[in-house]
Chains A and B, each alone.
Chain A
Amino acid sequence: MTLSRRGLIGAAGGAAAVGAAGLAGGLALGRTAEPPPDPLARTYPFHGAHQAGIATPAQDRLHFAAFDVLTDDRAKLARLLRAWTTAAARLTQGLAAGEQGPTGGSYQAPPDDTGEAIGLPPSGLTLTFGVGPALFDRFGLGQRRPEALTPLPAFPGDALDPDRSDGDLCVQACADDPQVAVHAIRNLARIGMGTVSVRWSQLGFGRTSSTSTAQPTPRNMFGFKDGTANLKAEEPDLLDRHVWVPAGRDPREDWLVGGSYLVARRINMTIETWDRTSLAEQERVIGRSKAEGAPLSGGDEFAAPDFAAAGRGGLPLIDPRSHVALAHPDANDGVQLLRRGYNFVDGSTRLGRLDAGLFFLAFVTDPRTHFIPMQTRLASRDALQEYLRHTGSGLWAVLPGVNEGGWLGETLLA
């Protein structure tokens, strides 16, 4: 006796609709309202002008995977992207990866869905796809590789592991249930076998920024609020300016209009050292209070930092080498990133230290203006750098959204 996800989700959706109707009716009649619908039943549309998973309110869990393309055959790559489109459209709506489902199909064949998400709600799954710089020459697409899609330069202090860096394609799976995110990546990897190979992947928990004003600011592994000044979904004008690729900027970019650029950095934190640091030092290095996340110049969490405010001895209240001082838009020609990072813990090292940190993900309209200058500044001057090691890195062009009947990458490969 097996229930498919669709069956359950249909039921959950029905219950949600009934709940909403009950709520409206209850208010009208002055009766007690029904409990709100389960947020895990939420789905985000797959189709649209932009891919989901960027301005979507950040979910709690991540499975990010980078792939190497194994073939030189452009048609084969296009076939995979079509198959991924079909599967992603299904998975994000809470359906099985394939039409037969995890327990349907032939009894003699492996199911076309791996089945660990049977019975789980859609959990707000989004899947976001990007292409890396190395892909273009391979497929004779050199003329269509945007200037902006050049591998990131080496930053001071980088300790990058090639086995956790780069890749011809990337897929970001975000969901409010880790099993749903892992299920999606696992099934996409399986569909891709023979055409692509997983190069590396990263699990994340605990979003480290808010992408919606409806979300409270989360905390990173250092215990500080992160992403207070992040771009929010409710600011479409700012997203147009700082996130989406506009028309007419670079003729090589025509296929990418409506897309974005994704910077990924695996940033290890030296947790044990940090934990032995005084609260005063922790706050000085960050530039904000640990309790409220307020700038050390005063006010509440959302108060604008006053970098000129001076304290005893005329020294600035916010250390000019603090993370906030160097990362704030005021210090970066007003540029803003849409950060979407996650905490990670990959167990412990042989020395008994947490292999933990921040898997930094940011979507930007152009990495040359919106990431590289900031990271260059941070890498050389940020006081926080003492507690960080960048161990993985990647840059991808995030494909524009897909309309009904379209497929991921069609503007590039069709």
Chain B
Amino acid sequence: MIKSHRCAGAACLVAALAVALAGCTDNTSGAAPGDPRALTVQSTDDACTVSGGGAPAGTLTFSVTNGGSQVTEFYLLGSDGLRILGEVENIGPGLSRDLVVNAPAGDYFTACKPGMIGDGIRNPFSVAPSDDQPAVSADDQQLAEQADQQYGSYVKDQTEQLLAQTRAFAEAYTAGSDDEARRLYPRARMHWERIEPVAESFGDLDPKMDAREADLQPGEEWTGWHVMEKDLWPQRAENYTALTTQERKRYADDLVANTEDLYNRTRDLTFSTDQIGNGATGLMEEVASGKVTGEEEYWSRTDLWDFQGNLEGARVAWQGLRPILQKKDPDLDATLEEEFAATQAELDSHRSGDGWKSYDELTEDDIKALSDRVNALGEPLSRLTAAVLS
């Protein structure tokens, strides 16, 4: 049952403008008018008017316009009213957003959620079987769940290893076994770097564990990995006073406690495909902004270890999404395969022993070549999320 509502002034204006502009916008993403899979949704403070009560199976585009005064959201829900087929969040008043979602034949609900609270304003929506259905499959959801499980397992495994290695590092550091601590530092951190977007998603833990001295605001206390990094590699510091045994113990204990906290909080995390895809993108952006520039490990110069950790984390995320990506955009998948390999090969040329060269041993040309590879991988990787969601 679709309710009809009087269109209020602003909403009418927005709708009219949207129609007027459709002819001159340089945008081929919106479905053509008359396409039964192209629907419009008018979300107001008390109504959710969908232009039709159903559509043929395939890739549906809901163009959602918020004509209300509150922030709204739009969902396509399964017949149980719980399963989310697709959602578009944070649509401010006056704004329009598209939800593109693959829907097999079946019964659904559409829902607008003005004010972002409650169950939202729901209407039944039916998707009819269709012969001209674009590549959709009922097992997309299954593939997404599989990707979630795999990525969740990976995060658990990495935090376990991070905890074990961090304990070993803390022990060596507290005991004054500096050589051993220096050996363990980049090895332990690699596990952090592999899941950095997840670790960073805990806004309280990240600054306590991974803040760099330059990140601090005046008066803020500096704790975490990089305090001990500076203490172990003070060569570039001016007038540096080494930490006392007591201070060392305090920082090391604090890091271990925070790592335990991170461990506990990551036991049952679940991930959506967009979180996994965006995590991959985010990891390569970490490389581009901090590692390839040698800013992350300012004291130890172990940036290439972090680079490897970020790269592996991004690769694992992509690999988890590959079954979906190979169906939806095999060209992009092939490009990513090629670029991941090329970036790894470039990094491999700087291996040293069982690890990596110091950042200081890289020439300007080495750094440029690494940066070029990061760009070459980062550009196609930035399209991963949209491709798997398409």
Contacts and interface: CB of A to CB of B under 8 A. Distances in A.
Interface of A: 1-7, 10-11, 70, 95-96, 99-101, 103-110, 190, 193-195, 197
Given A70-B376, A193-B379, A107 B97 contact: yes
Which of A6, A99, A108, A197 neighbours the largest number of chain B CB atoms within 10 Å of its CB? A108
Interface residues of B, number: 34
B94 interface: yes
B390 A106 contact: yes
Nearest to A189: B375
A197 B368 contact: yes
Contacts of A99: 26, 28
B316 interface: no
A109 B386 contact: yes
B27 A104 contact: yes
B366 interface: no
B100 interface: yes
Given A2-B25, A4-B24, A99-B26, A106 B389 contact: yes
B27 A100 contact: yes
A3 B376 CA distance: 30
B382 interface: yes
Contacts of B339: 194
A7 B25 contact: yes
A105 to B, nearest CB: 5
Chain A contact surface mostly: loop
Contacts of A10: 24
A385 to B, nearest CB: 31
A1 B27 contact: no
A106 B29 contact: yes
Interface in B89-121: 94, 97-98, 100
B375 A1 contact: no
Interface string B357-390: 0000000000010011001111110110111011
Contacts of B368: 197
B214 interface: no
B379 A96 contact: no
Nearest to B98: A107
Which of A10, A103, A194, A197 neighbours the largest number of chain B CB atoms within 10 Å of its CB? A194
Given A1-B21, A106-B389, A107-B98, A7 B26 contact: yes
Contacts of A105: 27, 29, 386
B382 A109 contact: yes
Nearest to A199: B368
Nearest to B24: A7
B24 A100 contact: no
A165 to B, nearest CB: 15
B26 A5 contact: yes
Given A106-B389, A197-B375, A96 B26 contact: yes
Contacts of B371: 197
A193 B377 CA distance: 8
Contacts of B274: 108
